[in-house]
Amino acid sequence: MKDILDSSLSDKVYFWLSLKLIRGVGNSIFLRLLQVFGSPDKALEADEDDLIDAGIRRDIARNIRKKDFLLDPEEEIKKLRRLNARIITYDDPEYPSILKEIDYPPVLLYALGRKIPYNQFFIAIVGSRNASHYGMRAAENISYRLAKLGIEIVSGMARGIDTYAHKGALKADGYTIAVLGTGIDVIYPRENKGLFQQIRENGTIITEFPTGTPPDGKNFPIRNRIISGISRGVLVVEAAKRSGSLITASFALNQGREVFAIPGMIDSIRSQGTHFLIKQGAKLVEDVEDILEEFGIKIEESQDKKDHKPLVKLSNQEKKIYECLDETPVHIDEIIRSTELDPSEVLSTLLRMELKGIVRQMPGRLFVKNMG
């Protein structure tokens, strides 16, 4: 795009926002106007005939002339100031260049938090909201290890897999982007309020939807194209047969991004979608190497691979119990049988281990090793 930096920054953002907020102006019409008129302020001043000559429908041209806004742009900017949020326009240096490659890129992004790094190597991790313990652990671990290697993690801050993808990156002191399907001031789901704050401090939250946009089923697939569009590859951890994660994966394919999938148990409905992807040619992922390999990146083997020794000192009983635990949940009766300890001993020891953070108790009296 050419010659837009002639007005001061906030004026510029005001015009961009104004044009975007006009009823009927979507991303593709906006880009057309930008191409023809050079900048949004010029498009806003153009008369109806010029707009129609540019290939804009008459009713939308009228809306532009009448300044028929969905939301008052001035109010919107005031709101953003209060929230300490900013707008990243299509021509802003912060706008991820990889996102311009896709069909219908968002012409502007509302953003909160840190600056989006320039030299991005983003990997998206997405999956089911109603995920299993296995899926959440896989998402968290892989995210953690990718983030440790300096790779940025993108996800949608939904329940389940998304939440753990962000958590893994944050745990590794890494950078993560949450792409919302709601307004920048709407935290959804509510229980992720804490996570929202953490991402805001250590990453970036972006959305293309105006402030106050409530969670709405139809917006999430629209958002998903940004998740895949901003990333070099998309890892699907758990997904049912017809799910949003599969929509993200198909966006990724159309956008020329790599698609990865984590396998699950063959009888789990939560893995039907990922198995479908693998059958279609998505790469099966067991560990981060499987992802990095596709991009020609190699990491040294010497790292702490799969060494899950607890850091705390264990008593003899605790050791005995720890040995029969696994990374998949084990039922208390199995622990009792294989340790040959008293049920009472096992229960009280497990509570202490739980409080030390070595094990985790799941519904159904199931216990798993707690991975840091």
Partner 1 sequence: MKGQENAKRALEIAVSGAHNILMIGPPGSGKTMLAKRIPTIMPPMSFEEALETTKIYSVAGSLLNKGGLIKKRPFRAPHHTISDVGMVGGGHPPRPGEISLANNGVLFLDELPEFKRNVLEVLRQPLEERRINITRAGISVTYPAKFMLVAAMNPCPCGYLGDRIHTCTCSVAQIQRYRSRISGPLLDRIDLHIEVPALSYKELSSKEEGIGSKEVLERVLRAREIQRERFKNFKINTNSEMQASHLKKFCKLDKESQSLIKDAVEHLGISARVYSRILKIARTIADLDESDDIKVDHVAEAIQYRILDRKLLF
| 17-35: burial string, b at 16+ Cβ within 10 Å, e else | bbbbbbeebebebbbebbe
- Strands 108-113 and 86-89, sheet pairing: antiparallel
- HEC readout, 263-309: CCCCCCHHHHHHHHHHHCCCEECCCHHHHHHHCCCCCCCCCCCCCCC
Half-sphere exposure of residue 49: CA atoms within 13 angstroms, side-chain side:
0
114 vs 159, which CB is nearer to partner 1?
A: 159
Contact 176, 155 (CB under 8 A): yes
As a whole number of angstroms, the distance between CA 320 and CA 287 comes to: 28
What letter represents residue 311's amino acid? Answer: L
Query: Distance between terminal CA atoms of the chain?
Result: 47
The nearest distance, CB 163 to partner 1, in angstroms, is 10
Instruction: Record the tokens describing residue 224, joined without a space.
Output: 């998903």
Q: What's the min distance (Å) between Cβ of 18 and partner 1? A: 39
Closest to partner 1 by CB, 167 or 257 = 167
For the bound state, the minimum distance from the C-beta of residue 68 to partner 1, rounded and expressed in Å, comes to 39
Closer residue to partner 1, CB minimum distance, 114 or 365: 365
Nearest distance from residue 164's CB to partner 1, in Å? 10
Shortest gap between Cβ of 306 and partner 1 (angstroms)?
Answer: 23
Q: What are the residues binding partner 1 (CB under 8 A)?
A: 130-133, 136, 159, 267-270, 329, 331-333, 336-337, 343-345, 347-352, 354-355, 360-366
Cβ nearer to partner 1, comparing 246 with 336: 336
Closest to partner 1 by CB, 136 or 247: 136
